[in-house]
Amino acid sequence: MLRYLTAGESHGQCLVAILDGMVAGLRVDKNFIDKELLRRQRGFGRGDRMKIEKDRVDILSGLRKGITIGSPIAMMIKNKDFSIDRLAAIYCPRPGHADLAGAVKYNRSDARDILERSSARETAARVSVGAVCKIFLSEIGMAVNSRIVMIGGVTSQKLMYERITSALKRRDTVGGIFEITATGAPCGLGSFTQSDKRLNARLAGALMSIQAIKGVEVGLGFESAKRFGSEVHDAIFYDKTKGFYRKTNNAGGIEGGVSSGEPILLRCAMKPISTLLNPLASVNIKTKKPSKATVERSDICAVLSAAVVAESVVAFELANAAFEKFGGDSLDETKRNLKGYLKQAKAF
């Protein structure tokens, strides 16, 4: 089983990720991980923090001469802005953020203790994990990519830029929708035997774990609720050369919790960032008196960055599903198992 943990605060010394269960024999390109981290930082509408931090990964364990050896992979991303102990206390929680609920849960009057971990800065660690998983997936013929569908209600690139610019002038924020496509996934990943083994459930859960994601669709998603069944389900065809296939992919590559062999299509709705330069009404935690919400350094729009994080969590879940199906402690063993399964599937 593949698993990971992350640690670190937004303005702490560093972010740390530990990826456990990765096969031995996988060559890991540190430059690729750094490029993925840079992708997470880019995008029109990002805040000043991205001008400060130059995210680079330090791989602390799990590799020898650039190749995995089967032990846990520890990765660290240092924070240039390491100011957590000097930052002001926060008593006026931001609507839409974890500030108030977290303060109540952990009995902390200073919401700084909450936002330092709940901040989306944490996703840099997840991108480092996802980058390693992408490298593994590429070895077994799979890839994960993303594209922006809509920002602030508009779909053309020109209007997206205008929408973000308008939000900046209004001292406001905007969200949007992005799409994730995973190609090369063979039929048979996931399972219908238990609810927590369903591939669509695992992918949706992973995507919903990303800060500010409020909705996830698979394939046609909510659109399928408006149509007749004959207009939704993907008819099955057979050819001696390519075996079973579909002419449509409304299911988004997953049927009954199991990958169908078609591209896996997922869409996410990201709400506008919670920190507003023109803050909403709030209440001071200590005095209980009305106040404006705290203003922290933040983004106007981070949809492009969220899409990169989404690629990472999807890559992890698909890599984990591949390990469950094909097993193996080494890359060579996993490839042999996959080859045997694909031969079996072709002959079905």
118 is in an annotated binding site: yes
Find all residues with CB under 8 Å of 7, minimum gap 6, and list them.
15, 16, 17, 125
259 is in an annotated binding site: no
126 is in an annotated binding site: no
272 is in an annotated binding site: yes
180 in Cβ contact with 267 (< 8 Å)? yes
3-class state of residue 48 by DSSP:
coil
117 is in an annotated binding site: yes
256 is in an annotated binding site: yes
212 is in an annotated binding site: yes
Q: What would the two tokens of residue 323 be? A: 């390990």
304 in Cβ contact with 43 (< 8 Å)? yes
Cα end-to-end distance, the chain, whole Å:
28
Tell me, what amino acid is at 46?
R
Q: What would the two tokens of residue 342 be? A: 């694909």
157 is in an annotated binding site: no
250 in Cβ contact with 236 (< 8 Å)? no
271 is in an annotated binding site: yes
263 is in an annotated binding site: no
Name residue 259's beta-bridge partners.
254
257 is in an annotated binding site: no
CA angle at residue 136 from 132 to 140, to 5 degrees?
160
Find all residues with CB under 8 Å of 101, minimum gap 6, and list them.
none
Residues making up the annotated binding site for FMN are 117-119, 211-212, 256, 271-275, 297
Residues making up the annotated binding site for NADP(+) are 40, 46
Residues making up the annotated binding site are 40, 46, 117-119, 211-212, 256, 271-275, 297
